[in-house]
Amino acid sequence: MKIALVSPYDFGYHGGVVTHISQLSEQLQKIGHVVKILAPLDSSSDVRQENLIPIGRPVPVPAGGSIARISLSIWRERRVRALLKEENFDVLHVHEPLAPILPLSVINSSETANVGTFHAFHGRGYMYFFSKGLMKRWFDRLDSLIAVSEPAKDYVSNAFPGDYNIIPNGIDVQFFSRNVAPFDAFKDGKLNILFVGRMEKRKGLKYLLQAYGRLKWEHPEIRLIVVGPGNPGNDNYRIISERNLQDVVFVGRVTDDQKRRYFQTADIFCAPNTGKESFGIVLCEAMASGRPIVASDIPGFDSVVTNGKEGLLVPPKDDEAIYLALKQLIESPSRRLSMGERGSTSVKAYSWHKLMPKIVDCYHQAISHHSSRLLKSRAVTH
């Protein structure tokens, strides 16, 4: 098949959806499909993706406690229409299909089978509820529906009910489980706690810093490594300054190769996110790396980690609970080891080779549904 993977987000700014699309492209090509990626891209980006077709310039827009870098170039639809005609795709796989503007332009211009994957989860789904009258005509053109988790399905289906296939984000388990060298600078006898995420409030770093402040007094041999792009912000700097926190290392943005080395460097992984997560790719990466986890008990995370099995789940925004959970794992090397081993087994459910048949089935389902729609349309016309 010839497949287009469509992203609403800047392909030069890695996030969950962009990472998912990039890896899905690789997996589809490995099994013989022809794949092109359609996505906004900043002109200054140094992205090297041979099958990427840049469409539109991204601009930052606040969304769900984060910043979405999307294209608002409504005048690109003529180019989209010409591109789709020229490429003659068998399937258009549109991620966040109701997000502006590129996904809507692609669906509006499509003359083939359309698959929509819904990633977002922002709580009660007011965005979809208030826009459903406007968006229904685009939604009705989707021939197959995918949601990456039950929370993502619930979020969209309240406004747009349908037959959703639950297919989680995939992960390259072998990549993260491969035996790679940790960073020598951090292998000095101290126990390393790792945080990986963008410097956004909903990632909950300040609650981890508050917990770390208490732990550091009791366990001076620990260190906190913070990996991810962005500015930590005044709240986090204030906590570090007021409590005179030592051994907090901000690494910034890293490559995938570097990220897996940080996972191998870590003794414990902590994800103190406050909510609005549809899935937990970073939890899967930690599990594939064999690391025990302390994470918030929120929708999207609780479907990936079972409390007491691969890690410990704690109430969100609760630094006391984070402190107690980390304390348990710091003081119990055997428990850290057993949780890491169980995570290495559980994460195999999210490996690409298990998910690809389900995704390809959705493509065939969409092609069949699209053919039926065409026959019905022609029957009505005649």
pLDDT in tens, 235-277: 999 999 999 999 999 999 999 999 999 999 999 999 999 998 9
User: 288 or 60: which carries more pLDDT confidence?
Assistant: 288
Classify each residue of 122-137 as buried b or exposed e, where b means 16 or more C-beta atoms within 10 Å of its C-beta: beebebbeeebeebee
Are 341 and 359 within one domain?
no
DSSP string, 17-45: HHHHHHHHHHHHHHTT-EEEEEE---TT-
Q: What is the pLDDT of residues 313-360, one digit of tens each?
A: 999 999 999 999 999 999 999 999 999 999 999 999 999 999 999 999
Lookup: tokens for 327? 């304390």
Q: Is the pLDDT of residue 379 over 80?
A: no
Return the percentage of the chain with pLDDT > 70, whole number.
95
Same domain membership, residue 219 and residue 164: no
Q: Identify the band that residue 196 occupies on the pLDDT scale cut at 50, 70 and 90.
A: very high
Asked if 344 and 201 sit in the same domain, the reply is: yes
Q: How confident is residue 374, by pLDDT bands cut at 50, 70 and 90?
A: confident
Residue 209 has pLDDT above 60, yes or no: yes
Q: What is the CATH number of the domain that holds 184?
A: 3.40.50.2000
Quote the tokens at residue 195.
């945080």
Residues 152 and 182 placed together within one structural domain of the fold: no
Task: Answer yes or no: is pLDDT of 373 > 70.
Answer: yes
pLDDT for 122 equals 67
Span 358-364, mean pLDDT? 98
Q: Are residues 204 and 80 in the same domain?
A: no
Question: Which tokens in the block code for residue 17?
Answer: 């959806």
Whether pLDDT at 212 is above 60: yes
Whether residue 339 is found in the same domain as residue 355: no
Q: What is the pLDDT of residues 298-316, one digit of tens each?
A: 999 999 999 999 999 999 9
Model confidence at 8: pLDDT above 70: yes
Instruction: Looking at the structure, tell me whether residues 250 and 152 fall in a common domain.
Output: no
Whether residue 262 is found in the same domain as residue 316: yes
Q: How do residues 75-133 score in pLDDT, each as one tens digit?
A: 678 899 999 999 999 999 999 999 989 999 999 999 999 999 999 876 554 556 557 77
- Structural domains in the chain (count): 2
Residues 314 and 183 in one domain: yes
pLDDT of residue 127: 58
Tokens at 222, concatenated: 């620990």
Residue 247 DSSP symbol: S
Residue 242 in contact with residue 283, Cβ under 8 Å?
Answer: no
- Residue-level pLDDT at 136: 92
On whether both 147 and 229 belong to a single domain, the answer is: no
Are 23 and 165 in a shared domain?
yes
**Where in the sequence is the domain holding 129, given as residue range(s)?**
2-170+351-381
List % helix, strand, coil for the chain (3-state, nearest 5). Answer: 45, 20, 35
In this prediction, residue 35 has a pLDDT band, given cuts at 50, 70 and 90, of very high
Tell me the average pLDDT across 217-221: 96
Percent of the chain with pLDDT strictly greater than 90: 80
**Predicted model pTM:** 0.90
Predicted local confidence at residue 44, as pLDDT: 75
Are 128 and 9 within one domain?
Answer: yes
What is the strand order of the sheet 52-54 is part of? 52-54, 34-39, 2-6, 91-95, 113-118, 144-147, 164-166
Is 74's pLDDT higher than 80? no
pLDDT in tens, 226-235: 999 999 999 9
